Structures are given as C-alpha cells and as structure tokens.
Amino acid sequence: MPVAVASIALVLHLLSVAAAAVAMDPAERETLLLVMEAVSSDRDWRSVGPDPCGAPWPGLECKPVPGGGKVSATRLHVTRLDFGVAPNPTCKDAAAFPHLAFALPHLQSLFFVNCFKNPAATTAFTLPPSANLSSSRLQQLSVRSNPSLSGTLPPQLASLRSLQVLTVSQNALVRGEVPQGIGELKNLVHLDLSYNSLTGTIPSRIGELRSLAGLDLSYNSFSGSIPNKLGDLAMLQKLDLSSNNLTGGVPATITGLTSLTFLALSNNGLSGHLPAGLSDLRDLQYLIMENNPMGVPLLSELGDISRLQELRLANSGYSGSIPETLGRLVSLTTLSLENNHLTGRIPAGLSRLKRMYHLNLSKNGLDGVVPFDGAFLRRLGRNLDLSGNPGLCVDDRSVVQVDVGVGVCRRGDISSATAEGSAATLFRRDVLLRLTGGHWSARLIRPATVALCCLLL
C-alpha cells in the first residue's frame, strides 16, 4: 500500500475512533474520581467534566483498548496516572496511598513521585487483596521520593504479573523484607528498591527474573551474603548492591552476568578474593567496590576486563602490589586505590593509559620513583593524588608543574622522600621552581636541578 493511501487510511481510522468514542465506563470513572480525591487537592475533580478521558487533564492518560469487542474498542480507558510533580496533580497534605487505583482495569502505568511527604500524615503502602490483582495489566509502578510513605513492601506485589518496571525508591520509612513472591514477576526488566530501609537477606528468587536488565538494591540494610542465584541473570546490565550490610565473598556465579556494564558493591562488609573469571564480564565498564574489608591482594585478572572505564577499590584492605596488568586497561578513565595497604612500585604501564584523568593512589605503602611523565602529570593535574605514600618520590620534571603529593627523589636515597606538606618538600619545590624559572625545558635542566636540590638539603 502506497504511503499516501496508508496515511489517509490512518487519519480516517482516527476520525472514526473520535467520532465513535463513547463515554467512560461509569464504574471506572467513579474509581478514578475516588483515587483523585484520595490523593490530590489540585481541584474539584468531579466538576472538571462528565468524561475525564474525553478531555483528559495532566497526569491522566486514556487510551482505547483493543481487543475488547466492537463497541468497547472505541471506549477510552485510564491507562496511566501520574501524581506528585507539576504539571501532574500534586498531592494534598493528607494524601493516602490509594490502593483503589489498582482496581482500574486497564491501568498500565502508575507513578507517585514526591507525593507523600507530610511528616504528620504518614500513609501505608498497601495493595488490594491478591485476588483483585490477578487480572492487573500494570506494567510500570513507580513509588519514589515519598518520605512519609511507611509500611513494608506488600506481598501482593507478586500478583502484578504484567509488571516490567518496579521502582520503590527513596521512601525512608518503607522497611521490612522483600517478599519472596517477587520471583513471580517474570516480566520485570527493571527492579529498583534503592534508598529505603529494607532489611533481611536478598531473596534468591530474584535470580528467577531472567529478563532483568537493571537491579538496584543500594542504600538499604540488607544483610547476609549475595545470593549465588543472582548469577543466573544473564540479561543484567546494571547491578547495584552498594551501601548495605552484605557479608561474605563475592560469589563466583557473578562471572555469569555476561551482559553487565555496571557493578557496584561499595560500602558493605564483603571480604576475601574477587572470583576468578571476572574477565568473562566483557562489557563491564564500571567496577565500583570501595569500603569493604577485602583484605587480600588485587587480582591480576582485573587487567583483563578489557572495557573497564572506572575501577574503584579504595579503602578495602588490599595488600600486595598494584598488578602490572592494569596498564592494559586502555579505556580506563578513573582508578581509585586509595587507603589500602598496597606496596611496591607504581606500574609504569599506567602512564600509557591515554584516557586516564583521575588517579588516586593516596594512603598506601607504595615506594620508588613515580613513573609518570610531564604530559601525564599535566593531563591529570589536581586529579592525581599520590600523597600518604612515604616511600614515593617524583623526579624534578614533574614537580615544576603540579603538586602530586610526594616529595622529590634524593639522589641515592629515593625511599627517604617525604610526603606532601612537609617543610622539606616545600623547601625543595621552592628551590626547583626558582631554579627553573618556569621557561627552560625540564629535560635540559634535570641533572643540574637534582644535583643542586640535594646539595642544598
């Protein structure tokens, strides 16, 4: 069919829909008005008009629902309700969580964002009985930034079988455990339960949600270990379990998450070795795992996670040396290893990483000469921190331009170079700056300055 004919047909179809539109189902209309009255005081909803779907207001979306027979095919149904943030209806001070909304038979999306926020009027997160939800068509439920919403995650959530996106986030009063029934929501693509007060263990059954692409449980109080079953989530791209009370090791099954691009496990009680096979995570770009009592050497296999852009493993009791292999991570922009017990030299390979712009190796036991050239040091500038490694020193080329937090190497005694801020360091830098005058080539003056510097000391 030629395009023109197709578009004429489409226009005619739309016209016929409009012409044949019949008023809303009266029961559905009544439910909608009760929901609006429970939540919003924007206006007198009953006076807005006889047929809300016929002249929809902000925050309300209606659609004809196909497949309902000839007559009902042209009837408009409530498919989306959106509360909280302008231009959507704002919520009244005494807003109550309207579980009646779940009785709207064709509702696909329901949002409460910044809606329940009156500290003097907490309202419980409740759902109708499971039997009432069995025919729910809800695909997206978002309950976000509601400081006065309280209660637990209702077990009836498990009955919302059409859900693809479930967000219950930033509701500090929502506590308790995640219902095991969450494993029934086989269509879920995104599950975000971050920034609540959830406790208990992470249910293994989340591993049954095989379509999941995003899982965020960060900033709760989950305890226990990371379930092995999470490794079954082969579609998962983002996994964030940061800022909980998780303990034990990182399970080896995590290497089965072959679609992962973002993995965050910071601020937990995780310990021990990262599993072998991490380099199976071929698409991993962010590995963010700070503040855990790992207490082991760094795996050299980290250097084989070839797409890594950010590697953040600070404050985690890592010992031993920095693996040379990290110099293979050509996409690396950020490397944070500060506040560990790392010893030995800084691998020279790091200086060849052209995308690097943030490198923090402060507060370790590293020693030797810093292997970075002037171009590298200038590129990183203030984003390079080597302070708090008493055994590290830089040669003269670098200090002329930037302060990297370490002293200048003394001839024959590099290990005695002092940390940033000491009087000796400042003195030597001052000498160097005056000697070089800021315009001679660093390379030319190098032997002379080193010699003069150390004589003066």
Shortest spacing between CB 106 and ligand NAG, in angstroms: 15
Nearest to 254 by CA among 269, 275, 268: 275
Nearer to ligand NAG, 128 or 317 (CB): 128
Q: List the one residue from 25, 82, 240, 338 that touches ligand NAG (CB under 6 A).
A: 338
Stretch that binds ligand NAG, among 1-9, 46-54, 360-368, 408-416 (CB under 6 A): 360-368
Buried b (16+ CB within 10 A) or exposed e, 364-384: bebbbbbbbeeebbebbeeeb
Shortest spacing between CB 130 and ligand NAG, in angstroms: 10
Give the C-alpha separation, 100 to 31, whole Å.
7
362 lines the binding site for ligand NAG (CB under 6 A): yes
Q: Is the peptide bond before 447 cis (omega within 30 degrees of 0)?
A: no
Give the C-alpha separation, 98 to 32, whole Å.
10
Nearer to ligand NAG, 129 or 272 (CB): 129
Give the C-alpha separation, 51 to 131, whole Å.
29
Nearer to ligand NAG, 79 or 360 (CB): 360
Nearer to ligand NAG, 213 or 380 (CB): 380
82 lines the binding site for ligand NAG (CB under 6 A): no
Sheet holding 197-198, edge to edge: 123-124, 149-152, 174-176, 197-198
Give the C-alpha separation, 272 to 210, whole Å.
28
Q: Rg of the chain over CA atoms, in angstroms?
A: 30
Question: What's the Cα-to-Cα distance from 108 to each of 51, 65, 164, rounded to whole Å?
Answer: 20, 11, 10
Sign of CA dihedral 30, 34, 37, 40: negative
Q: List the one residue from 38, 91, 103, 392 that touches ligand NAG (CB under 6 A).
A: 103
Give the C-alpha separation, 371 to 320, whole Å.
18
Shortest spacing between CB 233 and ligand NAG, in angstroms: 24
Q: List the one residue from 7, 16, 135, 245 that touches ligand NAG (CB under 6 A).
A: 245
**Residues 396-455 within binding reach of ligand NAG (CB under 6 A):** none
Nearest to 289 by CA among 325, 254, 329, 328: 254
Q: List the one residue from 16, 134, 221, 415 that touches ligand NAG (CB under 6 A).
A: 221
54 lines the binding site for ligand NAG (CB under 6 A): no
Q: List the one residue from 383, 416, 422, 441 that touches ligand NAG (CB under 6 A).
A: 383
Shortest spacing between CB 405 and ligand NAG, in angstroms: 8
385 lines the binding site for ligand NAG (CB under 6 A): yes
Binders of ligand NAG: how many residues, by CB under 6 A? 14
Neighbour tally for 27: CB within 10 Å: 11
Q: List the one residue from 118, 122, 132, 333 that touches ligand NAG (CB under 6 A).
A: 132
Nearer to ligand NAG, 197 or 306 (CB): 197
196 lines the binding site for ligand NAG (CB under 6 A): no
Closest residue (Cβ) to ligand NAG? 221
Nearer to ligand NAG, 188 or 366 (CB): 366
363 lines the binding site for ligand NAG (CB under 6 A): yes
7 lines the binding site for ligand NAG (CB under 6 A): no
Token pair of 317, please? 């009791």
Nearer to ligand NAG, 134 or 415 (CB): 134
Stretch that binds ligand NAG, among 182-190, 231-239, 357-365, 434-442 (CB under 6 A): 357-365
339 lines the binding site for ligand NAG (CB under 6 A): yes
240 lines the binding site for ligand NAG (CB under 6 A): no
Question: What percent of the chain is helix, strand and coil (3-state, nearest 5)?
Answer: 30, 20, 50
Question: Are 425 and 419 contacting, i.e. CB atoms less than 8 angstroms apart?
Answer: yes
Nearer to ligand NAG, 129 or 224 (CB): 129
Shortest spacing between CB 121 and ligand NAG, in angstroms: 21
Nearer to ligand NAG, 90 or 132 (CB): 132
Give the C-alpha separation, 174 to 197, whole Å.
6
Shortest spacing between CB 128 and ligand NAG, in angstroms: 4
Neighbour tally for 393: CB within 10 Å: 26
Q: List the one residue from 54, 64, 128, 176 that touches ligand NAG (CB under 6 A).
A: 128
Give the C-alpha separation, 445 to 436, whole Å.
7
43 by Cβ neighbours in 10 Å (0-12 / 13-18 / 19+) ranks as exposed
Give the C-alpha separation, 177 to 155, whole Å.
10
Point out which residues bind ligand NAG (CB under 6 A). 99, 103, 128-129, 132, 221, 245, 338-339, 360, 362-363, 383, 385
